[in-house]
Amino acid sequence: MPLKKYFLYDKDSSNFIPVEYNSLERLIYSACIWIIGGVVLCGLATAILTKTVGTPAAVTLKAENEALQEQLYQAKTTIQKHNKQLNKLAHTDNELYRSVLGMQPIPYGERQAGAGGAEVYSEFDSYSEDTEKILTCVASNLEQMERSLEIQKSSFKSIKEHYHENQEKLAHLPAIKPTKGIVVSGYGMRYHPILKYRRLHEGLDFNASIGSVVYATGDGVVKYARRKSTYGKLLIIDHGYGYETYYAHLSAYAEGIEPGMKVERGDTIAFTGSTGRSTGPHLHYEILKDGKTIDPINYLFADISPTEYLRYKKLAEQSKKSLD
């Protein structure tokens, strides 16, 4: 910005004489003008940014809040995932362990163990609506999960006590896998590959090559050990307490296996094959309770984890046809 011209009145000459500035004075004047202008512009810019974006501290706080909110969302997702796993465990507890051991199931409403009402989480009311919702959800799910875990721990303790009190009976339960193969066909209506129509498949089919070892799934007495129509070579064990197990399509019996022989859970009793009406080598396994077939998948619990049990159950349910 150029310097304005100023005039001084000279009494001697009765004239206005222009004021002259040297180079230094002009430089200082220009610098002052630019500095003042810069300060004013910075002030205006700061005021505008503060109003629209916020102060640096506010911007930092906002970023921290967004990061915390993201972590809360992740925590919510993780908790919901664990709750689903806990529900599966509760289902296994009721439908498998308690059912097999003859114990009363715990009602699912009781297992849910409802958390406190909305007033319990009123401390979150001061936050934004989104933050309040997610904090309430996380706190509620955590509280419910903690209560459900306590109930599940108590249930397992009761099952363990029941097991120790009834060890003799439980030793006779058919409670392990009869062979090492995986389940390839489950209990229920299945398409028969030879008869070409759907019919009740009364047991489980385990994948096994000829000669694979077959184990007694519980203590008992051999009731039958010879060929029987479509079963091919068949072995039946009477476990007492109303339980019998069938092992079909065998290639051979273990040494010494004959009617009247006592066996214990885990003993080698036979070897897999494809005798009788069968499409290939496998083991057909049935459990009868009081003369009626029941789903053996619910009795595979003594030698597999809950995760493995759920895997076998899924495989059994997915199968569309039997092998015999």
| pLDDT of the residue at 9 | 57
Q: What share of the chain is helix, strand, coil (3-state, %, to 5)?
A: 45, 25, 30
| pLDDT of the residue at 251 | 96
324 has a pLDDT exceeding 80: no
Contact status, residue 93 vs residue 152, Cβ threshold 8 Å: yes
Model confidence pLDDT, tens digit, residues 207-224 = 999 999 999 999 999 999
Arithmetic mean of pLDDT, 232-259: 96
| pLDDT of the residue at 225 | 96
Arithmetic mean of pLDDT, 232-238: 97
Please indicate whether residue 306 or residue 6 has the higher confidence score (pLDDT).
Answer: 306
Q: What predicted TM-score, i.e. pTM, was given to this entire model?
A: 0.56
Average pLDDT, the chain: 79
Partners of residue 222 on adjacent β-strands: 237
Model confidence pLDDT, tens digit, residues 50-107 = 666 556 666 666 666 666 677 777 777 777 777 777 777 777 777 666 766 667 778 7
Short-list 172, 204, 179, CA closest to 284: 204
Strands (E), 228-281: 233-240, 243-253, 262-263, 268-272
Range of lowest pLDDT (115-119, 126-130, 240-244): 115-119
Measured from the Cβ of residue 250, the count of other Cβ atoms closer than 10 Å reads 26
Model confidence pLDDT, tens digit, residues 274-299 = 999 888 899 999 999 999 999 998 88
